[in-house]
């Protein structure tokens, strides 16, 4: 380095040691580590691919089963819908016949005329509702059945109007004769459809009953809890600490899947129900409130499932014959009996 003719030598880095290049051994170790990491990544990726493939297979199987169940339900709905269409045509024709008869009625009584107009509005409303309901295949049969009941009520009211008008002499003989003849024809047509409607109602009942669950393969008994927390079966009433009922819920393709509450009622030899609280009640389909002993929540997916329900005794019980009743969705789905000495 020069400065105005003088030369300087930089000696500040002369004492620093040079950095040695990595040895061959260190390079091999580092390469081996990289290779190990790559192998582990490949193994992990392969395992993840295998697991994803297995999950996809399970998902495909579930999708196929779900599609089969949906097809069965769709077929049932289609069958009920076709039946409902035939019944709906009859209901529609009956309503139109009643409108025709109301149009022919004449009365000098304004109140009677107002009542007739009100009935005609009800009939027109039912006709509109019936037409709108055709778009709902799932509930169309139920809607038609309810309308058939309403049509019968309207027909009874119409008969009362005819008798009233006739008694007040506000309808002439020809009109009365025509109305009576039309009414006779209407009743005759209704009677001819009774057997068909009975068959349709029976089919509806069968579908409803078929969707209920069923409990079977019962094993109900008294058990004693040990100090270790395990259980041992016992047929001695004084030794019982719990009542246990084990059973299976049957497979049902048309039942509604999902979370369900299963109740157990333990009935004593004296006819009372063992329970821990008077507030432990269930509602039956008929609206009756029943005490239950204990319950269990189950995720039901239309497949058979095994269940055990335990009731912990709060006091010593008597010897004798006991009954375990099982309820789900307001219906008794099974029962079992057992004896404690």
> What residue ranges do the domains of the chain occupy?
70-209, 213-340
Beta carbons within 10 angstroms of residue 154's beta carbon: 19
Q: 208-229 as b/e, with b when 16 or more CB fall inside 10 Å? A: eeeebbbbeebebbbbeeeeee
- In contact, 338 and 247? CB cutoff 8 Å: no
Distances (CA, A) of 305 to 78, 107, 139, 296: 30, 68, 30, 13
Distances (CA, A) of 310 to 56, 112, 216, 295: 38, 66, 17, 8
The share of the chain scoring above pLDDT 90, in percent, equals: 28
Q: Does the predicted model carry a pTM greater than 0.95?
A: no
Most confident of 76-80, 141-145, 154-158, 197-201: 154-158
pLDDT surpassing 60 at residue 7: no
- Give the model confidence (pLDDT) of 88-112 as tens digits: 788 778 888 888 887 777 666 677 7
Top CATH class of 213-340 equals: mainly beta
What is the arithmetic mean of pLDDT over 300-322? 92
pLDDT at residue number 79? 60
What is the arithmetic mean of pLDDT over 301-305? 91
- Mean residue pLDDT of the chain comes to 78
What is the arithmetic mean of pLDDT over 214-228? 89
């Amino acid at each position: 380095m020069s400065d105005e003719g003088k030369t300087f030598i930089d000696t500040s880095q002369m004492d620093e040691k040079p950095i040695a290049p990595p040895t061959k051994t260190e390079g091999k170790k580092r390469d081996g580590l990289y290779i190990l990491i790559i192998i582990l990544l490949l193994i992990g990726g392969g395992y993840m691919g295998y697991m994803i493939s297995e999950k996809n297979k399970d998902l495909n199987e579930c999708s196929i089963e779900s599609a089969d169940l949906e097809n069965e339900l769709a077929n049932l709905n289609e069958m009920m819908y076709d039946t409902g269409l035939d019944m709906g045509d009859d209901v529609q024709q009956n309503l139109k016949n009643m409108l025709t008869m109301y149009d022919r009625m004449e009365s000098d009584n304004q109140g009677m005329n107002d009542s007739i107009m009100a009935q005609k509005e009800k009939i027109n409303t039912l006709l509109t509702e019936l037409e709108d309901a055709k778009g709902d295949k799932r509930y169309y049969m139920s809607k038609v059945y309810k309308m058939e009941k309403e049509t019968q009520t309207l027909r009874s009211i119409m008969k009362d109007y005819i008798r009233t008008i006739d008694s007040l002499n506000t309808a002439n003989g020809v009109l009365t004769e025509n109305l009576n003849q039309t009414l006779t024809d209407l009743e005759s047509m209704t009677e001819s459809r009774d057997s068909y409607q009975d068959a349709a109602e029976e089919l509806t009942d069968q579908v409803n009953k078929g969707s209920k669950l069923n409990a079977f393969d019962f094993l109900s008994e008294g058990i004693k809890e040990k100090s270790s927390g395990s259980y041992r079966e016992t047929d001695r009433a004084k030794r019982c600490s719990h009542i246990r009922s084990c059973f299976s819920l049957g497979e049902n393709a048309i039942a509604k899947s999902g979370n369900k509450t299963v109740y157990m009622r333990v009935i004593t030899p004296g006819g009372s129900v063992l329970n821990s609280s008077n507030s432990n009640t269930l509602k039956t389909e008929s609206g009756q409130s029943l005490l239950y002993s204990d319950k269990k929540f189950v995720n039901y997916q239309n497949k058979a499932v095994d269940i055990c329900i335990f009731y912990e005794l709060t006091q010593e019980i008597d010897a004798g014959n006991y009954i375990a009743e099982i309820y789900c969705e307001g219906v008794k789905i099974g029962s079992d009996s057992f004896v404690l000495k």
